[in-house]
Amino acid sequence: MVFSSPVSATKIANLIKAKILGNKDSYAKGINEIHKVVEGDICFVDHPKYYDKCLNSPATFIIINTTDVIIPEGKTLLVVDEPFEAYLTIARHFRPFTAQYVAINSTASIGEGTVIMPNVFIGNHVKIGKDCIIYPNVTILDYSEIGNHVIIQSGTVIGGDAFYYNTKKTRDVWYKKMESCGNVIIEDFVEIGASCTIDRGVTASTIIGKGTKMDNMVHIGHDVIVGKNCLFAAQVGIAGATTIEDGVTLWGQVGVSKTLTIGANSVVMAQSGVASSLEANKVYFGYPAEDASIKRRELVWIKRIPELWKKIMD
């Protein structure tokens, strides 16, 4: 999440009741997860395993629960007992939940020539470009950005919260929601089928690239980056923080695990499961998804096992 204007270290520290170490004169530009941070961002860390990674990241501000670390030059440490709770405080302050009782929020921007059909819900600070068609019962939630010439079929939800939880077994409730303050960006000429769901980024953006087409009942998880001119058939599911490069085709019921990359122009055949990153320009099949030509030969040999066993026993 990018703040509307830079915020001083003192103001952030007062907000989360933190002790400031290091550079006390810096200004924060936003808050982000460790794999998304850029210079000027705030990130948080609450486990020694990740202290060094966070301290040596591009982030300028580190919310942390120890003073027993070396502070890199120019960085600001915000020391609190519970960094995760501090993150929630910042997210709620700069992106507070606002109840809405009208179908289309007055802060929404809708471009010329765009058709909004009955029972569409459009949230706070949504931007919709020119010549789009938004079919009945679509929900477009806060801060989503829709490009030009986009088609969204009935029942689709854009910008739902990330399925993302902080886990501590010492709490009565083990899974505590990491509240989403990111958004969804849908670029020009994208078509989205009926009853699809595209979750917002936790702190950054979920992005659907120009010209991509989705069938019905496709799910896109938080912080997923989908490239240009991709094609997803029905019931595809893509887990959080995955990158799908340009020109990828995923046929029906393909499942894609989190934080991996599918290379450009790859094709994944129906009902395959992608458990790790895939190289570009290949056809894949099976679970785990592998080069389709190899997988087919394996299936032929598996079918021959009874025949081979019979020969051995004879």
Mind listing the pLDDT tens digit for each residue in 1-54?
A: 999 999 999 999 999 999 999 999 999 999 999 888 999 999 999 889 999 999
The fold of 2-94 is: 3.40.1390
Residue 308 pLDDT > 80: no
pTM: 0.92
Q: Residue 97 pLDDT > 80, yes or no?
A: yes
- Quick one: tokens of 103? 């179908």
DSSP string, 152-170: E-TT-EEEEPP--EEE-TT
Residue 34 DSSP code:
T
Three-class SS of residue 12? Answer: helix
pLDDT at 237: 98
- The proportion of the chain whose per-residue pLDDT surpasses 90, expressed as a percent, equals 89
What are the boundaries of each domain within the chain? Answer: 2-94, 123-293
Cite the DSSP H helix spans in the chain.
9-16, 51-55, 83-94, 292-313
- What number is the average pLDDT over the span 80-96? 95
pLDDT of residue 277: 98
- pLDDT score of 305 more than 90: no
pLDDT band at 170 (very low <50, low <70, confident <90, very high): confident
Radius of gyration from C-alpha coordinates of the chain: 23
Q: What is the mean pLDDT of the chain?
A: 95
User: pLDDT of 58-69, one tens digit each?
Assistant: 999 999 999 999
C-alpha separations of 312 from 297, 298, 304 in Å = 22, 20, 13
Known catalytic residues are 222
Give percent above pLDDT 70 in the chain: 100
pLDDT at 313 over 80: no
What pLDDT sits at residue 248?
98
Reduced to 3 states, what is the DSSP secondary structure of residue 253?
A: coil
The answer to whether residues 177 and 168 touch, using CB atoms and an 8 Å cutoff, is: no
- Is residue 106 predicted with pLDDT exceeding 80? yes
Q: Name the architecture of domain 123-293.
A: 3 Solenoid (2.160)
* Residue 165 near residue 147, CB atoms below 8 Å: no
